[in-house]
Structure 1
Amino acid sequence: MDSSAIVEKYFTHLSAQQKAQFQELGNLYTEWNEKINVISRKDIENIYEKHILHALAIAKFQDLSGKKILDVGTGGGFPGIPLAILFPDAHFTLVDSIGKKIKVVEAVVIALGLENVEAFHQRAEKVKGKFDFVVSRAVTRMKSFLHWINQKIQSESPEDNSGVIALKGGDLEEEMAEIKRMYQEVPISEYFSEPFFETKKIVFVPF
């Protein structure tokens, strides 16, 4: 079942507009991928499971309603675009250092009518402003990543749950030991039953 039905299986309170946007998402990426390769050819057939649902694991971990989120190294728009559909009242800034990928992001955002997304062709360090959360999908080792985005996270109040939420896979013990700070690791298999998620994890580094 690689269709938007897999999203509706785990997110049962979607509006008609959100359902339509998720349905359209697969078509848009399939079309764009023929022009600009943003998703590997073998993955495009499983885009809902391996990209869209994977991105939405972050929503199972953290409610992003009303938050400001920076998606670093977004590629073609993951995890930012699926999350932006799910949280229309949150604001998303998507950045990538590869211009043609941001071109795809901008086109998808316009086609879906997403008014809560901005996309920029730039490096994370150059992004202006402060955010509640920084999200990413396996961009680089966490130590380097935290160095890039260190000045980008704000918390409005001490009880705010702000920080980095990263999608990663495999054994992370050595990588996470490098950061010398508290973090939380959650297997995505706790949220989704598909075998693809057995090795996938969410890593949260609070700020």
Structure 2
Amino acid sequence: MEIVLKYFSDFTEKQLQQLQALGELYKEWNEKINVISRKDIDALYEKHVLHSLSIAAIADFPARTQILDLGTGGGFPGIPLAIFFPEVKFHLVDSIGKKIKVVQGVAEAIGLQNVTTAHTRAEEIKDRKFDLVVSRAVAPLKDLWFWSKPLLKTAPAHEQQPGLICLKGGDLTQEIADSTVRPRITNIYKLFPEEFFQEKHIVVVNK
């Protein structure tokens, strides 16, 4: 928890309580359903919570923005972002039902009112459009953009352009070339100079 507070300090008491609760909740759920690797669970706040919140370090989402977390896994980046942006609506989806069960359990336990969940794939979402899609290391950029594009609202030019923000690691040269998009890349190490983030990136694609 201390590593999150090292880089973010403007939390309400409720947000602090929600963030603090994540540590024990994920340990408990991980005993039943393994959504975080055993070696990472003790580094939850650095490798999962702070990693997710790197998006909040580069982007501000207006109230009532609707965001899809594609392939949320155990709830990342969606759960930490939903705590950080309580006025923003997050829809967390994953194709693996037991992972969504964990997400629902965590969200309910900390009283997140701005999170909905679904056990589904992106290509099966037919009835909703979103302002933005976020994702963490789920698939190649080419695929993420292919799945995201049909789910994005069309916004007037003066508004924030809908698009995709994803968290990626390693050398992205080939992946970006294959994607045919021209993303903006932010190295997370420049935001959070911790060893874990040296080869971690935020990739932003505008529609």
Shared fold per TM-score greater than 0.5: yes
Q: 2:112 aligns with which of 111, 114, 129?
A: 114
Q: 1:16 aligns with which of 7, 13, 16?
A: 13
SS where residue 41 of structure 1 aligns? coil
Percent identity over the alignment? 52
**Structure 2 unmatched runs, 5+:** none
- The whole-number CA distance in structure 2 between the counterparts of 1:198 and 1:130 is 34
- The whole-number CA distance in structure 2 between the counterparts of 1:48 and 1:101 is 19
The equivalent residue for 2:134 is: 135
The equivalent residue for 1:96 is: 94
The equivalent residue for 1:197 is: 197
Moved over 3 A (4+): none
- The whole-number CA distance in structure 1 between the counterparts of 2:62 and 2:111 is 18
Shift in Å at residue 123 of structure 1?
0.3
- The whole-number CA distance in structure 1 between the counterparts of 2:2 and 2:154 is 36
**Structure 1 unmatched runs, 5+:** none
Shift in Å at residue 65 of structure 1?
3.1
The TM-score, its normalising length taken from structure 1, stands at 0.96
Alpha carbons 1:8, 1:14 under 8 Å: kept: no
1:124 aligns to 2:122 (yes or no): yes
Report the number of matched residues. 204
> Which amino acid is 2:46 matched to?
E
The equivalent residue for 2:143 is: 144
Taking the TM superposition and a 5 Å limit, the aligned residue runs for 1:1-207 are 4-66=1-63, 67-127=65-125, 128-159=127-158, 160-207=160-207
SS where residue 202 of structure 2 aligns? strand
- The whole-number CA distance in structure 2 between the counterparts of 1:31 and 1:144 is 33
- The whole-number CA distance in structure 1 between the counterparts of 2:33 and 2:179 is 35
Shift in Å at residue 12 of structure 1?
1.1
The TM-score, its normalising length taken from structure 2, stands at 0.96
